[in-house]
A and B are shown apart, each in its own frame.
Chain A
Amino acid sequence: MAETATATGRKVKFIITRRERPEAAPFTEEFEVPYRPNMNVISALMEIQRNPVKADGAKTSPVCWESNCLEEVCGACSMVINGKPRQACSTLIDKLEQPVRLEPMSTFPVVRDLVINRERMFNALKKVKAWIPIDGTYDLGPGPRMAESKRQWAYELSKCMTCGVCLEACPNVNDRNSFIGPASISQVRLFNAHPTGEMNAAERLEALMEEGGIEGCGNSQNCVRSCPKGIPLTTSIAAMNKDTTKHMFKQWLGL
């Protein structure tokens, strides 16, 4: 089937921003990839990998990118596609304007070509303790149950795949600003909503009240418009604003 479609001779044009090494200067290269029905950005990149020849016919090195799940749950393939950060695996060529422009997300250090290092997101999760501590020297038994009504919205928050799109969209995540970014603030709300996680709620709130914490949010609300998982990030941020504010007054009053 792929062959018959290729036979139509239609090509998809790509302009890709590349970098050889982390500190190297970026440059762009153009490619023309044979069109196949329902192809996505990753399948086009695979085609370039198989046949690393530029649009002008000159050979080049294969373009590097990252991907794992190929179904928009791991977040590894995030890149800027035609100006918007999104997942390459779930972005269909048919829905894109051509030429298709691919760039690495500028918020993160580039490793090579479209491969970026999202370490700062994982550090942020560590900083806010986005987990539930249950390890101990003896079996603590089953934890308290969660109300179904709460579970439903908490489940939405748990869909975050640390893809980094919300950080890329945020005007306050940049090198002049230490803002931790929307994703981990929403994770504090998730873990503080959990009946067992709630027992460490204060620690997570205090992490958000440190330098570069929740106060870095300037309410541009780009995050909620950009999140591929539809996570209500601005609701989470406002809810954590409420909780950190309450926590601040409690600390003052020594409650």
Chain B
Amino acid sequence: MKGNSYLPRKIHSLLGVIPLGLFIVEHALTNYSAYEGGKEGFSDSIDLLNSLPLVLWMEIFLIWLPILFHGVYGLYIAYQSNINTGRFSYGRNWAFTAQRITGVITFIFIAWHFYETRLQVALGNVSHEELGQHMNSIVSDPLAFTAYIIGVLAATFHFANGLWAFLVSWGITVGPRAQKVSSNICMVIFVIIAALFLLSLFAFRGDEFASAAATALSSVSVG
């Protein structure tokens, strides 16, 4: 990392909120339609997304490349930090540490999640219509379900706490009072988005999303 790191760091920070923060909110809402509207609601949401113009280009420039830049640079930032919560066990220092740990978890989770879903669609192994059922067969495995819960909580915390940091990094929340208020707001955002994701994960486990084969499979693994 020779030269000026100010600009890349600013870009890293911006990408975390725009577009990635917007994307995680969109993703949570789309998935939530599986809880609210069941199989029907979820496939309607997917159809809506796929009806958007230039959807592949939007995916590339608003999701994949930003995640790649923010994720890889984020790993480097995490590598550059010490963990000293042992000596300084203050709330914000824990959040600082959690921001880095959840970043690493999110990186692994996104890679796996992308491989299982979007890549399989791209390879033609799964169609858009089959995604709900595909998710059902994934999360019916207790181990994968646990991994999804961890991944989703990590990504959501990372975004919500990152939003708090973003407001500081851009000089929007300056004094301690503003930072305290924004911290409370960001934790509410964490709870709301996490709830949306968790509800949809539970919804995907339901019978409605199970195909005949997957139902058999899930009843075996759930016992």
Contacts and interface: CB of A to CB of B under 8 A. Distances in A.
Contacts of A211: 1-6
Contact of A171 (B5, B83, B169): B83
A177 interface: yes
Interface of A: 83-84, 169, 171-172, 174, 176-177, 209-222, 225-226, 232, 234-235, 237-246, 248
A176 B11 CA distance: 21
A248 B172 CA distance: 15
A238 B173 contact: yes
Contacts of B176: 232, 234-235
A213 B93 contact: no
B5 A241 contact: no
Given A219-B165, A239-B171, A172 B82 contact: yes
B92 A248 contact: no
Given A172-B82, A225-B90, 7 more contacts: A169-B84, A216-B5, A218-B81, A220-B93, A237-B168, A241-B170, A242-B174
A217 B84 CA distance: 15
A150 B171 CA distance: 19
Contacts of A176: 79-80
Most buried by A among B6, B87, B170: B6
B190 interface: no
13 contacts: A171-B83, A171-B97, A174-B80, A209-B4, A215-B6, A218-B99, A218-B165, A219-B96, A219-B164, A220-B93, A238-B171, A238-B179, A244-B171
B57 interface: no
Given A174-B82, A176-B79, A235-B174, A219 B168 contact: yes
Interface string B71-111: 00000010111111001101011001101000000000000
B175 interface: yes
Nearest to B90: A225
Interface size class for chain B? 35 or more
Contacts of B97: 171, 220
B174 A238 contact: yes
The 9 closest A-B pairs by CB, nearest first: A242-B171, A220-B96, A215-B9, A221-B92, A241-B171, A177-B80, A238-B174, A171-B82, A209-B6
Nearest to A209: B6
Contacts of B80: 172, 174, 176-177
A239 B91 CA distance: 22
Contacts of B6: 209-211, 213-215, 244, 248
A237 B175 CA distance: 10
B10 interface: yes
Interface in B133-177: 164-165, 168-176
Nearest to B161: A219
B4 A177 contact: no
Nearest to B12: A215
A237 B88 CA distance: 19
Interface string B178-217: 0100000000000000000000000000000000000000
A33 to B, nearest CB: 25
Contacts of B172: 242
Nearest to B166: A219
Nearest to A174: B82
A243 B97 CA distance: 27
